Amino acid sequence: MQLYKALRSRATTIEDNTEMSPATIATPIACTDAPLAAVDTDLLMVPWFSGALPAEMAGLDEATGGEIARAAASGELTKGTFDVFLAPVVDRSWKARRVALVGAGKADDFGTGVARKVAIVAGLAARQRHVERLAFVLRSGLADPSGDVDVRGLAQAVAEGLTLAEFSAGVYKTLEDTPSALPLCTIVLPGLADTSPESMGGVEAAVARGRLLGECSNLARELANEPGNTLTPREFAARAQAIARSGGVTVEVLDERQIEALGMGLLLGVARGSSEPPRLMVFRHEPADAPATPVLGLVGKGITFDTGGISIKPADGMERMKDDMAGGAAVACAMRAIGMLGAPIRVIGVVPATENMPGGRAIKPGDILKSAEGKTVEVINTDAEGRLVLGDGLWYARKLGATHLVDVATLTGAVVVALGKITSGILGAPDSWVSHVRRVADRAGDRVWPLPLFDEYRDQLKSEIADMTNTGGRPAGSITAALFLKEFTGGLPWAHIDIAGTAWADEAKPYLPKGPSGVAVRTLAELPFTAESWNKS
Ligand code: BES
Ligand code: MN
Ligand code: ZN
- The most confident of the ranges 142-146, 201-205, 262-266 is 262-266
Residue 3 has pLDDT above 50, yes or no: no
User: What number is the average pLDDT over the span 241-253?
Assistant: 98
* pLDDT band (50, 70, 90) for residue 148: low
Distance 39 CA to ligand 3 centre (A): 49
Residue intervals of the chain classified under CATH 3.40.220.10 are: 34-192
Residue 294 has pLDDT above 80, yes or no: yes
Q: What is the pTM of this model?
A: 0.94
Give the model's pLDDT for residue 15.
43
Residue 50 has pLDDT above 90, yes or no: no
Neighbours of ion ligand 3 (CB under 5 A): 303, 306, 324, 386
- From the CB of 448, is ligand 1 less than 6 Å away? no
Distance 226 CA to ligand 1 centre (A): 19
Alpha helix locations (H) across 226-274?
233-245, 256-261, 265-271
Pairing of strands 302-306, 295-300: unpaired
Which atom of ligand 1 lies closest to the CA of 503?
8
- From the CB of 418, is ligand 1 less than 6 Å away? no
Look at 139 and 500; give whichever has higher pLDDT.
500
- From the CB of 413, is ligand 1 less than 6 Å away? yes
**206 to 8, 28, 116, 306, 523: CA distances (angstroms):** 34, 12, 13, 38, 16
Give the model's pLDDT for residue 78.
72
Distance 517 CA to ligand 3 centre (A): 17
User: What number is the average pLDDT over the span 164-189?
Assistant: 90
Which atom of ligand 1 lies closest to the CA of 386?
11
User: What number is the average pLDDT over the span 122-137?
Assistant: 96
Cα–Cα dist 141/130, whole Å: 30
Which atom of ligand 1 lies closest to the CA of 306?
1
Contacts of 24 (CB under 8 A, 6+ apart): none
Ligand 1: which of 313, 318, 322, 412 to mutate, most ligand atoms within 8 Å of CB? 412
- Give the CATH H-level superfamily of domain 217-536: Zn peptidases (3.40.630.10)
The ligand minimizing its distance to the Cα of 319 is 1
Residue 36 has pLDDT above 50, yes or no: yes
* pLDDT band (50, 70, 90) for residue 8: very low
Cα–Cα dist 388/309, whole Å: 13
- Tens of pLDDT, residue by residue over 396-412, are 999 999 999 999 999 99
Write out the H or E segment, with its range, that includes residue 300: strand 295-300
Residue 301 has pLDDT above 90, yes or no: yes
- Kindly report the CATH class assigned to 34-192: alpha beta
What rounded mean pLDDT belongs to the chain? 92
Nearest residue CA, atom 16 of ligand 1?
384
Give the model's pLDDT for residue 338.
98
- From the CB of 498, is ligand 1 less than 6 Å away? no
Residue 262 has pLDDT above 90, yes or no: yes
Give the model's pLDDT for residue 11.
39
- From the CB of 310, is ligand 1 less than 6 Å away? no
The size of the chain, in residues, is 537
- From the CB of 384, is ligand 1 less than 6 Å away? yes
Distance 383 CA to ligand 2 centre (A): 4
- From the CB of 424, is ligand 1 less than 6 Å away? no
Give the model's pLDDT for residue 177.
81
Cα–Cα dist 149/70, whole Å: 31
Give the model's pLDDT for residue 142.
58
- From the CB of 327, is ligand 1 less than 6 Å away? no
Give the model's pLDDT for residue 80.
84
- Tens of pLDDT, residue by residue over 428-440, are 999 999 999 999 9
- To the nearest whole percent, how much of the chain has pLDDT over 90? 84
Residue intervals of the chain classified under CATH 3.40.630.10 are: 217-536
Look at 167 and 2; give whichever has higher pLDDT.
167
- 182-186, 213-217, 346-350: the lowest-pLDDT one: 182-186
Give the model's pLDDT for residue 25.
60
Q: Which residues are marked as active site? A: 313, 387
Give the model's pLDDT for residue 213.
98
Residue 143 has pLDDT above 90, yes or no: no
- From the CB of 241, is ligand 1 less than 6 Å away? no
Distance 411 CA to ligand 3 centre (A): 6
Give the model's pLDDT for residue 537.
46
Distance 224 CA to ligand 3 centre (A): 13
- Tens of pLDDT, residue by residue over 446-490, are 999 999 999 999 999 999 999 999 999 999 999 999 999 999 999
User: What number is the average pLDDT over the span 137-149?
Assistant: 63
Give the model's pLDDT for residue 5.
37
Cα-based angle 139, 143, 147 (whole degrees, multiple of 5): 125
Distance 181 CA to ligand 1 centre (A): 35
- 188-192, 290-294, 347-351, 384-388: the lowest-pLDDT one: 188-192
Ligand 1: which of 355, 411, 469, 470 to mutate, most ligand atoms within 8 Å of CB? 411
Longest dimension (CA), the chain: 81
* pLDDT band (50, 70, 90) for residue 526: very high
User: What number is the average pLDDT over the span 64-83?
Assistant: 89
Query: For the packed helices 151-164 and 200-225, what is the interaxial angle rounded to 10 degrees?
Result: 30
- 79-93, 174-188, 333-347: the lowest-pLDDT one: 174-188
